[in-house]
Amino acid sequence: MSLKAVHILFISLSILLAFGFAAWEIKGYTVSGDVLQLLLGLFSLVAGVGLIVYGVKFLRKLKHVSLI
Amino acid sequence: MEIPYTATARPDTGLFNAKLGVWMFLASEVMLFGALFSTYVLLRVGAPSWPHGYEILNIPLATLNTVILISSSVTMVMSWASLMMKEFKKYKMYMGLTILLALGFLIVKGFEYGAKFSHGLYPSESTFLAIYFTLTGLHGLHVIGGIIVNTYFWGPGSKMWHTDPQRFTNRVEVAGLYWHFVDLVWIFLFPVMYLL
C-alpha cells in the first residue's frame, strides 16, 4: 500500500471526523447557546468541505501513481 | 556487495525493502496503540462513573492540534509528490513545513499539559487522566520521533537525492507512511478522549 493510498484513507477519515465534530458542536450549541461551539461547528463544516475538494484534486494530480 | 531492492521493488512482494520494513513496524505499532485503546474501553465500561472528556479537556486547543496534524499530513504527501516530480526545492519547502507543523503540535500540547498541571490535574488524580496522559503522551513521543526522522531527511539525509534519487524518494515515502500513522492515531484519539 503506497503513501497515496494511505493518504486517501487518512483524508476520508478526516472528512468523517470533520462532519462528525461539526454535528457534535452544533448540537452542543443548541443546548448551551455557547457561540464558540457554533463557530467551531461551522469551521469544522467548512473544513470538511475543503477536505473533500482537496481529496478530489489530490486524486486527479496523482492519478498516474500506483495505489500499491 | 550491493543490497538489492532498496530502490526497485522485489518482483515477488512488489515492495522495496524499506516499505516492507515500515509496514511490519506499523503492524507492531497498531498492536501497541490497540492494546492501550482496549485498556481505555475496558476501564471505562468497568468504572461506576466516568467523566466526559469535554468537561475536563480543552476542546478548542485539541481542535487546533487536529487541524495542525491534518495539514502536516498534506504537506508530508506534497513533499513526496514534489520528489516524484523532480522538484527538490519544493520538497525542502513542504518537508520544512511538515516539521514546523509538528513542532506547533507539540507547543500546543505543551500549553494543554501546562494548564492541566497548573490546576493540579496529574495522571495520579484519576483513571481518566491516567489513560489520557498515557495515550496522548505516547502519541507525543511518536510525534517527536517523526520530527527527528523528517529533520534528518530535510537536512543531512537529503544529500542522497543527488546520488540516488529513487532511493531517497522511497525513504521519504516510508517516513510519510509513519507520519500518516501518527496522524491517524490522533484522528481516533481526538473523538475518543475529548468528545465522548
Residue B12 belongs to a domain: no
Q: What is the pLDDT at residue A21?
A: 97
Q: What is the pLDDT of chain A when averaged over all its residues?
A: 93
Residue B94 belongs to a domain: yes
Determine the 3-state secondary structure of B125 from DSSP: coil
- Apex A38 CA angle, A51 and B186, nearest 5: 45
Residue B42's pLDDT band (cuts 50, 70, 90): very high
* Residues of chain A contacting residue B67, judged by C-beta atoms under 8 Å apart: 47
Distance CA B96, CA A32 (A): 41
Residue B9 belongs to a domain: no
Residue B182 belongs to a domain: yes
Q: Could B77 and A7 be called an inter-chain contact, meaning their C-beta atoms sit closer than 8 Å?
A: yes
Domain count, chain B: 1
Residue A64's pLDDT band (cuts 50, 70, 90): confident
C-alpha cell at A56: 478530489
Mean pLDDT of B72-99: 97
Between the CA of residue B154 and those of A40, A47, B53, B126, B177, what are the distances in Å? Answer: 34, 29, 37, 41, 16
Distance CA B69, CA A34 (A): 26
Query: pLDDT at residue A66 above 80?
Result: no
The reply to whether the predicted model has a pTM over 0.80 is yes
C-alpha cell at B55: 468537561
Shortest distance between the Cα of A30 and any Cα of chain B, in A, equals: 16
Q: What is the pLDDT of residues B139-190, one digit of tens each?
A: 999 999 999 999 999 999 999 999 999 999 999 999 999 999 999 999 999 9
Q: Does B70 touch chain A (CB under 8 A)?
A: yes
Residue B83 near residue B169, CB atoms below 8 Å: yes
Residue B11 belongs to a domain: no
Residue of chain B whose alpha carbon sits nearest to that of A62:
B81
Contacts of B17 (CB under 8 A, 6+ apart): B3, B5, B6, B10
Residue B178 near residue B26, CB atoms below 8 Å: yes
DSSP state for residue B158 in the 8-state scheme: G
Quote the percentage of chain B above a pLDDT of 90. Answer: 91
Mean pLDDT of B21-50: 96
Q: Does A47 touch chain B (CB under 8 A)?
A: yes
CATH number at residue B189: 1.20.120.80
Query: pLDDT at residue B9 above 90?
Result: no
- Apex A29 CA angle, A25 and A31, nearest 5: 120
Residue B186 belongs to a domain: yes
C-alpha cell at A22: 461539526
Domain span including residue B165? 29-37+54-195
Q: What is the pLDDT at residue B114?
A: 96
The backbone torsions φ and ψ at residue A26, rounded to the nearest 5 degrees and listed phi first, read -70, -35
Q: What is the pLDDT at residue B3?
A: 85
Q: What is the pLDDT at residue A68?
A: 67
Between the CA of residue B100 and those of A51, B19, B37, what are the distances in Å? Answer: 21, 25, 28
First to last CA, chain A: 4
Q: Could A40 and B59 be called an inter-chain contact, meaning their C-beta atoms sit closer than 8 Å?
A: yes
Q: Could A68 and B173 be called an inter-chain contact, meaning their C-beta atoms sit closer than 8 Å?
A: no
Residue B148 belongs to a domain: yes
Question: Residues A40-61, buried b or exposed e (16+ Cβ, 10 A)?
Answer: bbebbbebbeebeeebeebeee
Residue B13 belongs to a domain: no
